[in-house]
Amino acid sequence: MSRSLAAFYDSESTGLKQEDGHRLIEVAAHIYDLDSKARVGRFVQRINPQRGIDPDAQAIHDIAFDELINEPTWEEVGPKLSKILSACTYVVAHNGEGFDLPFTFREFIRIGAPVPKVRSIDSMLQARWATGDGSLPNLKALCFACGVDYDPTQAHAADYDVDVMAKCFFSQVDRGFFTLPTEYYELPPLTVKKGKK
């Protein structure tokens, strides 16, 4: 009998727009067996982006470039992460379909690594129930709704965000608040705004 594995995933980057050359600087994937709810693997890695970090991005994740100088490059990390995610049926990420999956999968393509064939569970898109007005919850609001302790001093570190996201997911999945998709995630086309002539 095969296990149903899910990678709870988060990433941090030098900035939001790949078309501006932004790169990943930290990834975290906690692998869980969905049947037993046991964590069976963990991969956390910082990455040397070989470029500067946007000040707005650094203000969120508080990772400075000088902390990354001796870390491996994406060319070293990407193939390992691709293999890990490819071993899973699902990838669970908060704003995964809006940021983490498209950014990461395009980075796989950039270095020629295989793009995992997975089903996406976006814990933000599926959790409008967590807010009083039905808006999309940030991770802090989701934790509050699920009764999961949230420490703002540790927030936006990929490893911490993955840990609390998994706690939220497992607190609610059996109650039907998160659903497991049957369709595979499809990478949307990258839209690049054309400059004015």
What total number of domains does the chain contain? Answer: 1
pLDDT of res. 3: 80
CATH of the domain at 165: 3.30.420.10
Question: Does 107 fall in a domain?
Answer: yes
Question: Does 95 fall in a domain?
Answer: yes
Question: Does 106 fall in a domain?
Answer: yes
- The residue among 85, 82, 86, 94 whose CA lies nearest residue 127 is 94
Question: Does 16 fall in a domain?
Answer: yes
Distance, in Å, from the CA atom of 170 to the CA atom of 90, rounded to the nearest integer, reads: 14
pLDDT of res. 192: 61
Which residue stretches of 10-114 are H helix?
55-61, 74-86, 101-111
SS3 164: helix
Which residue stretches of the chain are H helix?
55-61, 74-86, 101-111, 139-146, 158-172
Distance, in Å, from the CA atom of 151 to the CA atom of 155, rounded to the nearest integer, reads: 6
Range of the domain at 47: 5-123+156-175
pLDDT classification of 195: cutoffs 50, 70, 90: low
69-88 pLDDT, tens per residue? 999 999 999 999 999 999 99
146-184 pLDDT, tens per residue? 999 999 999 989 999 999 999 999 999 999 999 999 999
Distance, in Å, from the CA atom of 80 to the CA atom of 118, rounded to the nearest integer, reads: 16
